[in-house]
Structure 1
């Protein structure tokens, strides 16, 4: 009989990068558009600012995610190299360490020793990486995948408010972008929560609140400097 339980741990890496990218794409681009529009700029200037924000933001997200996840990957690889060396130098000690981990998780000492022996016989490094270091194929850091997911999702998120600049008349642009972007954020939060198995309303409210705060502050800055300039 196959293992049919539907767990979500395998989604953590790409889901985090995709949601963070799309959320930032909507919030930053919508805020930029709202701020520039509040300064009573022309619609063409608002569009140029939005496109520049999309490109710059996507590249920034990709670079930041790549550097961050690469650092995590470097740490994981260093830990694996150290573990491989320890296995080569003192195999018996590593058996004991693994057995102690299983005892701490509730196994009887004798059974824990048997499990440690069996797992290390099959894949000693893999057993220690998983159970001692917390590193597995599912959760291992993947810098390129995270960077691409962040850049692509940012661009998709940013394209939503940017499209409104093209379609909506300048007279209603500010409020249309603001309200539509908040709706986009709520939907994104709900979808992310559903995919990750967390409460939908809580997630939707959280991203909507911070999006509204960001756009409100940016609109205020745009209005202030627009009036001064």
Structure 2
């Protein structure tokens, strides 16, 4: 019978720090890949024309993105770590292709302003989610229901074309992803603190990828809503 080993508080903290660092590193990689590909795609008029002037291509990309998120979320425990990582990278790349439109619609000053506003808001929410003693579980459920509501409202507003509803959706969506950022950060903290001592490297990587995906989605959606606020046509 093998002797039972216990980790010191320092060892536990080191394991937690390593996991959290991995989550944010992968989120940063995903955001960087999305940003670089979005700008690179915008620089190739033939490619942007293919994506946005060909409904089948654009819709196909959106469906592929949704499918990747669904598969990652529902099958992460059964897939290999390398597969999960590859799917996250592919998703980030596809999102870069579809987000290239922002460089055609918004001025660079608006894009940079929205990015820095998003980064600051995201950082503040992450810090709150990490340090708060309040259980944010109920808030996470409430925010998710609110997200479903704004999605339905957005679809309805396609037909109504209401300016008032447009701005209401914008502010509500910002509030929702502010809450989800804090909620997801707290979940990642709990995941890091409750990892078994004998957890394998593969399970750690998959947990980090899922955490990165949630934070990535929070950041991207918050950024897109911030862009609406900063507005401004192209230079």
Greater RCO (CA < 8 Å, at least 6 residues apart): 1
TM-score norm. by structure 1 comes to: 0.29
Larger Rg: 1
TM-score norm. by structure 2 comes to: 0.28
